[in-house]
Amino acid sequence: MRLCLLTLARVSLVLTLLAAPLLAASAADQVSAADQAVVRSLADHNHSALDRLLDPDFTWIGSKGERFDRSSVLRDYPRLSNAQVPTKSQIYGKAAVIRADLGQLHVMRIWVKRAAGWRLLLYQEVAQVAISEKPPGGSGECDNPCRTIPFVPKTAGEKAAIASWQGVMRAMADNDADAYAALIADEFTATDTHHSRPFTKSERIAQIRKLKLTGRQSTPSPLLSARMFDLGQTVLMIAREQRPQAKPYFNTRMWVYRDGRWQMLFSFNTRIEQDR
């Protein structure tokens, strides 16, 4: 009898291990199918399909910073960029991040798992400059966003993600590469309007160390406003920020809870060329 129970336990364990990748693949297949359906629906002006796939809180941010809500997209069907470009996707629990990159034009689509299925929460484009712009100098003094921000997070996850982000901002202001590295996910990328290409975590760390060696400092851009979404394992923030004497921009960031702390997965910002 004991032998039978041990055998059944081993069989159960094997089935569990085999099921894990299948479940992950199923989620990936679901997101991929929904994403392809959105691409087709926008091209075909398929209102009913889009109505099912767009989240109630859906936001569209174009390459010049134009922002549309769900009702505007359902009415005007804006043109989707990089529609034929092969995509890269990553699933984090109830959130999925899809990228379509071609040259200096980058597209990101963020999907969230709702009770009725996967829904598109954000579409955003970034057109990077041909030559990276010189970052503005600074004194290193940073109140907003390093210590205070004009935004009140609601959930415990949002509060923790904000605290992690402010830690990153202080590390950047202080040129503290070690403090920065601890709060950044290994797969992190920064895709900024102001640069000619995306940067990885290691490249960002190298930039911070170089600034420290040269004695230069940079001051993070103040936060103007934000929206946050607590998705359980991840937290998403769509922020509006502005450098001194420069145009504002939308910066989308996502954090994942990993290894006992909130780590930033990406920074994706779009300059607002025509503010409205």
Closest CA to 156 of 257, 58, 241: 257
In this model, does residue 258 exceed pLDDT 90?
yes
The range of the structural domain enclosing residue 221 comes to 156-271
Whether residues 63 and 180 share a domain: the answer is no
Q: Tell me: the pLDDT tens digits for 32-76? A: 999 999 999 999 999 999 999 999 999 999 999 999 999 999 999
Whether residues 160 and 249 share a domain: the answer is yes
Whether residues 252 and 173 share a domain: the answer is yes
Whether residues 226 and 263 share a domain: the answer is yes
Q: Is residue 213 part of a domain?
A: yes
CA distance 24 to 222: 38
Whether residues 89 and 173 share a domain: the answer is no
In whole angstroms, how large is the CA radius of gyration of the chain?
A: 21
Q: Domain of 244: which CATH number?
A: 3.10.450.50
Closest CA to 165 of 99, 151, 98, 248: 151
Q: Tell me: the pLDDT tens digits for 135-178? A: 766 666 899 999 999 999 999 999 999 999 999 999 999 999 99
HSE on the CB side for 110, CA within 13 Å?
A: 27
Q: Is residue 122 part of a domain?
A: yes
Q: Is residue 276 part of a domain?
A: no
Whether residues 111 and 184 share a domain: the answer is no
Report whether 177 contacts 209 (CB < 8 A). Answer: yes
Percent of the chain with pLDDT over 70: 88
H or E stretch covering 102:
strand 95-102
Whether residues 86 and 167 share a domain: the answer is no
Find residue 203's DSSP bridge partners.
none
Whether residues 179 and 257 share a domain: the answer is yes
Q: Is residue 135 part of a domain?
A: no
Q: Is residue 144 part of a domain?
A: no
H or E stretch covering 121:
strand 117-127
DSSP 115: T
The arithmetic mean of pLDDT across residues 197-209, rounded, is 97
Q: Is residue 254 part of a domain?
A: yes
In this model, does residue 1 exceed pLDDT 70?
no
Q: Is residue 141 part of a domain?
A: no
Q: Is residue 262 part of a domain?
A: yes
CA distance 272 to 255: 24
pLDDT the model gives residue 135: 72
How many domains, in total, are found in the chain?
Answer: 2
Which amino acid, one-letter code, is at 62?
G
N- to C-terminal Cα distance for the chain? 74
The arithmetic mean of pLDDT across residues 11-22, rounded, is 40
pLDDT the model gives residue 21: 42
Cβ burial of 244 (10 Å; 0-12, 13-18, 19+) is exposed
Whether residues 34 and 80 share a domain: the answer is yes
Whether residues 25 and 113 share a domain: the answer is yes
Q: How confident is the model at residue 179 (pLDDT cuts 50, 70, 90)?
A: very high
Whether residues 196 and 95 share a domain: the answer is no
Whether residues 16 and 116 share a domain: the answer is yes
